[in-house]
């Protein structure tokens, strides 16, 4: 039996605290670049495409929150949600 080598596209994804922190840090760095007007130094992706990706992230994140909450209706509203 042949096994596939691990690549970024088929490697097991572990969604641990470190992963969530790295996603947050990447978004925070993108935000800092946008505030400073220096997106071109951070990414070769066009600003309009970045916005499109961010809108997709937001939609997917909101839907995921709803799905998680549906599985655990007793889950409380977080501080971040309360102030967003």
Q: 58-83, pLDDT tens digit by residue? A: 999 999 988 988 888 776 666 565 55
Q: Residue 12: CB partners within 8 Å, gap ≥ 6?
A: 6
For residue 51, pLDDT beyond 60: yes
39 and 33 in contact (C-beta within 8 Å)? yes
Q: Where are the domains of the chain?
A: 45-84
pLDDT of residue 70: 86
64 and 71 in contact (C-beta within 8 Å)? no
pLDDT of residue 83: 52
Residue 84 to residue 77: CA distance in whole angstroms: 11
pLDDT of residue 48: 97
3-class state of residue 64 by DSSP: helix
Mean of pLDDT values over 46-66? 96
């Amino acid at each position: 039996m042949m096994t596939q080598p691990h690549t970024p596209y088929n490697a097991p994804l572990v969604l641990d605290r470190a992963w969530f922190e790295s996603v947050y840090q990447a978004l925070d760095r993108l935000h800092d670049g946008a505030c400073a007007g220096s997106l071109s130094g951070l990414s070769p992706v066009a600003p309009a495409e970045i916005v499109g990706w961010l809108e997709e992230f937001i939609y997917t994140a909101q839907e995921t929150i709803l799905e998680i909450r549906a599985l655990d209706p007793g889950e409380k509203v977080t501080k971040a949600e309360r102030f967003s």
